Structure 1
Amino acid sequence: MTKLFTTTALVAALALPTYAAQPAEGEKLAEDQSLSFWILDAIKSADPQLTSSRTDSDMIRQLFEGLMNEDETGAMIPGVAESHEISEDGLTYTFHLRDAKWSNGDPVTAGDFVYAWQRAVNPETASEYAWFMELMNIVNATAIVNGEKAPEELGAKAVDDKTLEVTLTKPTPYFLKTLSHSTTYPTPQKVIEEHGEAWTRAGNMVGNGAYVLKSHDLGVEAVLVKNDQYWDAENTIIDEVKFVTVNDQNTGLTRTLAGEIDWMNQLPAGQFPRLKEEHGDSVVAPPWACSYAYIFNLSDKGPEELKDLRVRQALSYAVDRDIIVDKILQGGQEPAYFWTHWAIEGFEAPEIEMAGWTQQERLEKAKALLAEAGYGPDNPLELTIQYNTSEDHKKLAIAVQQFWKAIGVNVTLNNYEWKVHIDRLNNQDFEVARYAWCGDYNEASTFLDYFRTDGYNQGKWSNAEYDKLLAEAATSENPAELYKQAEQILIGDMALAPAYHYSQPQYIEPSLRGAPLDNVMMSWYAKDMYRVAE
């Protein structure tokens, strides 16, 4: 956790260095400065306040810009806010905006941020990420989300067109890290009011990012072109970005190796060793702040069988994580016995008892627990695993089906397209579901807050002591020990069966420069990239 802004009583206006594409000495730029990026699923929403998808956010980050950006290492650097101040008590942040414009030439103002943030917490917007604004601890965010106060009472106000003042309910050490998240991006009020839900269509959309949306053939391709109104357009080298949807990873890889796609950031399971040998430095697998798990539905709509802790423990113990990472994925992933990704800044891994057992010991304990719970050959446990369309998710689901069959559990597999999968999760319309969480900012709370009673928490697990620890951690100067305790509660009650921590096995076309491989968040900005002549 960064302490830079909390070590002095009053922080004067801080202007941090910006980061832009800078060709190295001796590099010659290619004539073609386009970038084609592979995505697995169609863009669900290009609206900053409505998206909940990592894929959507990757595109939105090119079209809009928030108060802060991330550099190639993940450090926070100025975006629209060129400087900021923090009050002595740590409760008031004052941001000073640079001269920035919307793509239609209108100035970007503090009021645009106020409008967007009020829109995010307004129940009428139905933002899946309204809780994120609560997590930021902005004054009145929770009351507004709950319908108890008007959006206008949110603790964010435009002092003038160039000054945004944000008031928090309590000191929040990670607050600045939240400001590169798409939910906090400004949105153009008059455009939204003119076009309604159609405002994000090509031709209607107005953004303040380095690119504008030229065309969007849903589920096929979105094309973005350089925004000449962007404040740093003269340092933006990539002039066209394509998001190419290919629902099958193997087909995506074929198209990538054929030169149709420049960057595929999720190689098919098991392909990394061969591709690394064949393509050398073009194939890499840096750690990525995402964790993969099987979520149990513990809501009233969930199966009664999963309410029994012994059943959940048995299911988690039976998952052979070494087979998953060493035999199926083979791309630098790490077995997961806890939820938070091991590479998150400042995170200290908890001691989880089952991590020290052999897989044979886990299997024996799993069988004994199921027997205690009343399940066996004459009364087998029957469960359904839901996953979204992907050859890799299918491979893993089949593997888990076999792991659980070995302890006497009969599993049915249900496959849905991404949008349906998420809708079913949000409605608690599942038994066990494949899920992955990618951090929204580089601090452990971004993972742990998912399981708060009032967090995103699609399985509806709830634990008062867990909630209390996270509340304490939110204002602690050294929350690592509190996070460790929270992880132990989470796994002790087995709210999920963690499977693995991500790396990001990827292929990057040799002429492409600037991919943020040292940023565990993998937040990328095409404006910071370029292509060299071969």
Structure 2
Amino acid sequence: MTRSLLLSTVLSAALALPTLAAQVQPGDVLAENQEYTYWLLDAIKSMDPQINTDVEGSGVLRQLFEGLFNEDQNGALVPGVATSYDVSEDKTVYTFHLRDNAKWSNGDPVTAHDFVYAWRRLADPKTASEYAWYMELMQVKNAADIIAGKKPVEELGVRAIDDHTLEVTIEAPLPYFPKMLTHASTFPVNQKVIEQFGDKWTEPGNLVGNGAYVLKEHILGEKVVMERNPLYWDDEHTIINKITALTINDENAALTRYLAGELDRVQIPAGQYPRLKAEYPDQAVSVPQSCSYIYLFNLDPEKGPEPLKDVRVRKALSYAIDRDIIVNNILQGGQAPAYNWTHPATEGFEMPEIDYATWTQDERTTKAMELMKEAGFGPDNPLKLTLNYNTSESHKKIAIAVQQFWKKIGVDLTLNNMEWKVHTDKLQNQDFEVARYAWCGDYNEASTYLDLFTSYSGHNNGKYFNEEYDRLMKESKTADNPAPLYKRAEEILAEDMPFAPIYHYTKVEMIKPDLRGMGLNNLMQNWYVKDMYRVAN
């Protein structure tokens, strides 16, 4: 076994510091109030690390649970339950060394067996996790066969050598494998608690986590309340005492409550960033975030509408969207027009040349009209489609704009607004024609985007399939340099157009100026309240 020098250096440096939680900067004086209240757009569907699929849900889970590693303010890996690891010469066997002072919130020790149980649970078809495929993406040995029901979960390439040593075997070297271990689906769970409470194990009073906070209250669609976990291994250096997340479906109402002092952090509604930046320069922020916003086409052979199976129609729909109007006139928060899938700031990603990205919007619209005419549609024979989108002022404004863009090329678009849970359920069941969709990277590498459109993806809700695309993504797992394969995969997506890319995200927010440790320099925008604190005025 050889020491992984890069991460070990990072971990050693982190361990040399007095704390791994909130580090009060020189000159900062702590405020008496160390509570944090933030905004959620939608209800948290699940507090189960192996079941959750939502970005907002992941934000809660990072407070209640802790995986092998966390991320620092800039997105670099730092110790979580693991303090270091070794890797074999062939880069396929990882041995993680776990801290001996990690405890569950009920006092049980956190052990390697807890990770084995959680990872097997994720891959087990009985769990029916939408993130089971993540275990396959991590290349964990036998994951694909287990997920397909061909092998028992006991054959998954993960084992506890002893209570504080976890061994993971992967199918092929994967340079970014450690980065993938900050994802919530890989967090440990307490087997005893799950077996005791069954489906109710995530309820307040039942949920046992190993994170810096414990769940005190969860009123679905209203609020989540968390308080410091005194048994967390680094509670001594945790400063924020209480977290409250309030669910407010109306972004403008949320902003009003922020300005009234009820919230410490809130998303800025579409179009309001310039004004708020001028009025509150020390509170309005816009920073890159690894997410891409698209309109997904349903290509399911049985459930998808027949016209969308024509690539000319799909290209026309994409070409007709004036992305400059959306980012410059509607959103106005520094977002970038998107003509591809992977966020361009993703580490190591090389943007391909996509022809329509270089055209003027007039050229794109003209081409869209030609393609629609070729496909048999136009003003005299409009294509009727329905767009599903979840409740949000910005989603609504974009949908109305696209409705007008598409009307120009002979599309009669019906807008269908619904709450988040209904929206995602329809996506997962292919009960839609066109749907608003977005993806935020699970780790800072292009495969976190591109794997989604493989045939074996657990999130390929549009049921797109391309054999060459699948082959490229499988080859990328063992390639010395996957960048050219990623570039070709993006070109295929532009050729097949299984979705219409619209924009790449920035995180556009109002944040109270007395808050520190928000992690805004982390492209993934993963944040940990244990790293945060409030300063006195």
TM-score (norm 2): 0.97
Deviation at 1:377, TM superposition (A): 2.7
Counterpart of 1:491? 494
Structure 2 unaligned spans of 5+: none
Counterpart of 2:521? 518
Counterpart of 2:14? 17
Q: Equivalent pairs: percent with the same residue? A: 62
Letter in 1 for 2:14: P
In the alignment, the residues of structure 2 paired with residue 435 and residue 33 of structure 1 have an alpha-carbon distance, to the nearest angstrom, of: 36
Match among 503, 506, 516 for residue 503 of structure 1: 506
Deviation at 1:247, TM superposition (A): 0.6
Letter in 2 for 1:450: L
Counterpart of 2:300? 299
In the alignment, the residues of structure 2 paired with residue 526 and residue 397 of structure 1 have an alpha-carbon distance, to the nearest angstrom, of: 34
Counterpart of 1:351? 353
Letter in 1 for 2:504: H
Aligned residues of 1:404 and 1:410 also touching (Cα < 8 A)? yes
What's the secondary structure of 2:347's corresponding residue?
Answer: coil
Q: Deviations over 1:17-41 (max 9, x none)?
A: 1532111111110011000110000
In the alignment, the residues of structure 2 paired with residue 224 and residue 530 of structure 1 have an alpha-carbon distance, to the nearest angstrom, of: 15
1:368 aligns with 2:370: yes
Counterpart of 1:432? 434
What's the secondary structure of 1:436's corresponding residue?
Answer: strand
In the alignment, the residues of structure 2 paired with residue 7 and residue 91 of structure 1 have an alpha-carbon distance, to the nearest angstrom, of: 16
In the alignment, the residues of structure 2 paired with residue 249 and residue 15 of structure 1 have an alpha-carbon distance, to the nearest angstrom, of: 43
In the alignment, the residues of structure 1 paired with residue 265 and residue 177 of structure 2 have an alpha-carbon distance, to the nearest angstrom, of: 31
Deviation at 1:178, TM superposition (A): 0.7
Letter in 2 for 1:47: D
In the alignment, the residues of structure 2 paired with residue 142 and residue 494 of structure 1 have an alpha-carbon distance, to the nearest angstrom, of: 27
Deviation at 1:219, TM superposition (A): 1.0
Counterpart of 1:423? 425
What's the secondary structure of 1:440's corresponding residue?
Answer: coil
Deviation at 1:5, TM superposition (A): 4.4
In the alignment, the residues of structure 1 paired with residue 187 and residue 236 of structure 2 have an alpha-carbon distance, to the nearest angstrom, of: 22
What's the secondary structure of 2:364's corresponding residue?
Answer: helix
Aligned residues of 1:15 and 1:78 also touching (Cα < 8 A)? no
What's the secondary structure of 1:31's corresponding residue?
Answer: coil
Letter in 2 for 1:267: I
Deviation at 1:12, TM superposition (A): 10
Indicate the larger mover: 14-23 or 38-47: 14-23
1:26 aligns with 2:27: yes
In the alignment, the residues of structure 2 paired with residue 120 and residue 182 of structure 1 have an alpha-carbon distance, to the nearest angstrom, of: 11
Deviation at 1:467, TM superposition (A): 1.2
Counterpart of 1:384? 386
In the alignment, the residues of structure 2 paired with residue 304 and residue 271 of structure 1 have an alpha-carbon distance, to the nearest angstrom, of: 39
Counterpart of 1:89? 90
Deviation at 1:376, TM superposition (A): 1.9
Deviation at 1:13, TM superposition (A): 12
Q: Deviations over 1:241-297 (max 9, x none)?
A: 111110100000000111100011x21000100010011021110000000000110
What's the secondary structure of 1:504's corresponding residue?
Answer: strand
1:309 aligns with 2:306: no
Deviation at 1:15, TM superposition (A): 3.9
Deviation at 1:224, TM superposition (A): 0.3
In the alignment, the residues of structure 1 paired with residue 435 and residue 524 of structure 2 have an alpha-carbon distance, to the nearest angstrom, of: 24
In the alignment, the residues of structure 2 paired with residue 281 and residue 468 of structure 1 have an alpha-carbon distance, to the nearest angstrom, of: 48
What's the secondary structure of 1:277's corresponding residue?
Answer: helix
Aligned residues of 1:295 and 1:432 also touching (Cα < 8 A)? yes
What's the secondary structure of 1:200's corresponding residue?
Answer: coil
Aligned residues of 1:381 and 1:408 also touching (Cα < 8 A)? yes
Q: After the TM superposition, which residues 90-105 of structure 1 pair with which residues of structure 2 at under 5 Å, given as runs?
A: 90-99=91-100, 100-105=102-107
Aligned residues of 2:381 and 2:410 also touching (Cα < 8 A)? no
Counterpart of 1:136? 138
Counterpart of 1:527? 530
What's the secondary structure of 1:286's corresponding residue?
Answer: strand
Aligned residues of 1:6 and 1:173 also touching (Cα < 8 A)? no
Match among 230, 233, 237 for residue 232 of structure 2: 230
Equivalenced residues, count: 528
In the alignment, the residues of structure 1 paired with residue 10 and residue 521 of structure 2 have an alpha-carbon distance, to the nearest angstrom, of: 28
Aligned residues of 2:11 and 2:78 also touching (Cα < 8 A)? no
In the alignment, the residues of structure 1 paired with residue 63 and residue 490 of structure 2 have an alpha-carbon distance, to the nearest angstrom, of: 34
**CA distance 1:84–1:110, shift in 2 (3 Å):** same
Deviation at 1:7, TM superposition (A): 8.7
1:276 aligns with 2:277: yes
In the alignment, the residues of structure 2 paired with residue 382 and residue 121 of structure 1 have an alpha-carbon distance, to the nearest angstrom, of: 40
Match among 202, 223, 235 for residue 204 of structure 2: 202
Q: Deviations over 1:336-374 (max 9, x none)?
A: 000000111111111110011000000100000000111
Letter in 1 for 2:74: T
Q: After the TM superposition, which residues 184-263 of structure 1 pair with which residues of structure 2 at under 5 Å, given as runs?
A: 184-263=186-265
Counterpart of 2:180? 178
Aligned residues of 2:293 and 2:438 also touching (Cα < 8 A)? yes
Aligned residues of 1:289 and 1:439 also touching (Cα < 8 A)? yes
Q: Deviations over 1:152-195 (max 9, x none)?
A: 11100000000000000111111101100000000000000000
Q: Deviations over 1:43-87 (max 9, x none)?
A: 100000000000110000000000011111111111100110010
Q: After the TM superposition, which residues 39-78 of structure 1 pair with which residues of structure 2 at under 5 Å, given as runs?
A: 39-78=40-79
1:325 aligns with 2:327: yes
In the alignment, the residues of structure 1 paired with residue 492 and residue 185 of structure 2 have an alpha-carbon distance, to the nearest angstrom, of: 29
Letter in 2 for 1:17: A
Structure 1 unaligned spans of 5+: none
Deviation at 1:475, TM superposition (A): 2.1
Deviation at 1:476, TM superposition (A): 2.2
Match among 440, 464, 468 for residue 465 of structure 1: 468
Counterpart of 1:288? 289
In the alignment, the residues of structure 2 paired with residue 477 and residue 13 of structure 1 have an alpha-carbon distance, to the nearest angstrom, of: 23
In the alignment, the residues of structure 2 paired with residue 179 and residue 103 of structure 1 have an alpha-carbon distance, to the nearest angstrom, of: 21
Letter in 2 for 1:388: N
Kindly report structure 1 stretches of 4+ aligned residues shifted beyond 6 Å. Answer: 11-14
**CA distance 1:12–1:276, shift in 2 (3 Å):** closer
Q: Deviations over 1:182-229 (max 9, x none)?
A: 000000000000001111111111000000001111111111000010
Letter in 2 for 1:522: Q
Letter in 1 for 2:519: P
Aligned residues of 1:92 and 1:167 also touching (Cα < 8 A)? yes
Aligned residues of 1:173 and 1:477 also touching (Cα < 8 A)? no
Deviation at 1:6, TM superposition (A): 8.5
What's the secondary structure of 2:160's corresponding residue?
Answer: strand
Letter in 1 for 2:343: H
